[in-house]
Amino acid sequence: MFVYELRFECFADTTISAAEKAINNVLEAMRANGQILGREFAVALNDGEFRVRLLTPEKSSLATRYHSPWVKQALTQLTAANILAPREKFIGQDINSEESSIEPASWQVLYTSYVHMCSPLRNGDNLLPIPLYRVPASFNGDHKHLIRWQAEWQACDELQMASATQAEFAALREISDERSDLFRRGWDLRGRIEYLTKIPTYYYLYRVGGDKAAEHNRACPRCGNQAWKLEQPLHDIFHFCCESCRIVSNLSWDHVK
Ligand SMILES: [Zn+2]
């Protein structure tokens, strides 16, 4: 990932609230399109100029050719708040984060966790994140539904990993049960992406707990397929794969050596 600074300069008198609103709209639009990562952006005002540091999946993520209709509209609306089009300054490569997938994928998977800031769509061949703006819009011009699904999945993951509250159990159900709302929404988005990209796209179902012997013999929770256990796990994570349901899952983390 890469670090950029965007600078928004005022060309006439504006109010801070009008400027904030217009700038935040640009950032929200870029986030919903996968051009910038993360959820919170510190916008600093200094000498009549607003500056914000951003994390992008690729060096070219902010290029006009990737803009969604909402990003284009938000940039146009800056003028109404008396702000010039932002200037970009490349700061450098982020040393703590993964690179993006640029190779074509033979399969893809929706996979995230609470520590991952990157795209939840991964190249199945190397598990590298695929920048979402490179994929046709999954809903209404961009990927806002997918980004929202990711944020909720991560929130549930963090609650169940912390194991400190009663919310742990409800959160675990959302990420590990095929009857949950998060499953239904994520699985539908997966189908949409598969349809748009023509690349088989799987959903990752989290798994923890369970009896050891039963765990090795468990069936696909959606169709009852008994033959979905792989001889060798993929990427040391996916021990199960049901091709017809497009679900991959791990061997319960309690039973992995
Ligand atoms: Zn199945």
Q: How far is the CA of 227 from the centre of ligand 1 (A)?
A: 9
Q: How far is the CA of 237 from the centre of ligand 1 (A)?
A: 18
> What CATH number was assigned to the domain covering residues 2-93?
3.30.70.100
Q: Is the pLDDT of residue 251 over 80?
A: yes
Q: How far apart are CA 134 and CA 255, in angstroms?
A: 37
Amino acid letter, residue 176 = S
Q: How far is the CA of 168 from the centre of ligand 1 (A)?
A: 26
Q: How far is the CA of 117 from the centre of ligand 1 (A)?
A: 29
Task: List all residues 6 or more positions away from 13 whose beta carbon is below 8 Å from its beta carbon.
Answer: 82
Q: Considering the chain, what percentage of its residues have pLDDT values greater than 90?
A: 86
HEC profile of 145-157:
HHHHHHHHHHHHH
Q: How far apart are CA 66 and CA 45, in angstroms?
A: 27
Q: Considering the chain, what percentage of its residues have pLDDT values greater than 70?
A: 100
Whether 83 contacts 10, CB under 8 Å: yes
Question: What are the tens digits of pLDDT across the range 42-54?
Answer: 999 988 899 999 9
Q: How far is the CA of 8 from the centre of ligand 1 (A)?
A: 50
Q: How far is the CA of 230 from the centre of ligand 1 (A)?
A: 13
Q: How far is the CA of 151 from the centre of ligand 1 (A)?
A: 26
CATH 3.30.70.100 boundaries in the chain: 2-93
Query: Distances in Å between the alpha carbon of 106 and those of 174, 184, 201, 228?
Result: 28, 24, 9, 19
Q: How far is the CA of 133 from the centre of ligand 1 (A)?
A: 30
CA 176 vs. chain centroid, Å, equals 18
Q: How far is the CA of 253 from the centre of ligand 1 (A)?
A: 21
Q: How far is the CA of 241 from the centre of ligand 1 (A)?
A: 8
Whether 204 contacts 238, CB under 8 Å: yes
- What's the mean per-residue pLDDT of the chain? 95
Q: Is the pLDDT of residue 96 over 80?
A: no
Q: How far is the CA of 153 from the centre of ligand 1 (A)?
A: 21
Q: How far is the CA of 99 from the centre of ligand 1 (A)?
A: 32
Residue 253: the pLDDT is 84
Q: How far is the CA of 242 from the centre of ligand 1 (A)?
A: 5
Q: How far is the CA of 228 from the centre of ligand 1 (A)?
A: 8
Q: What is the mean pLDDT of residues 22-39?
A: 97
Burial of 14 (0-12, 13-18, 19+ CB in 10 A): middle
Compute how many other C-beta atoms are within 10 angstroms of the C-beta atom of residue 67.
19
At 169, the pLDDT band (50, 70, 90 cuts) reads: very high
Q: How far is the CA of 217 from the centre of ligand 1 (A)?
A: 14
Q: How far apart are CA 181 and CA 175, in angstroms?
A: 9
Q: Is the pLDDT of residue 257 over 70?
A: no
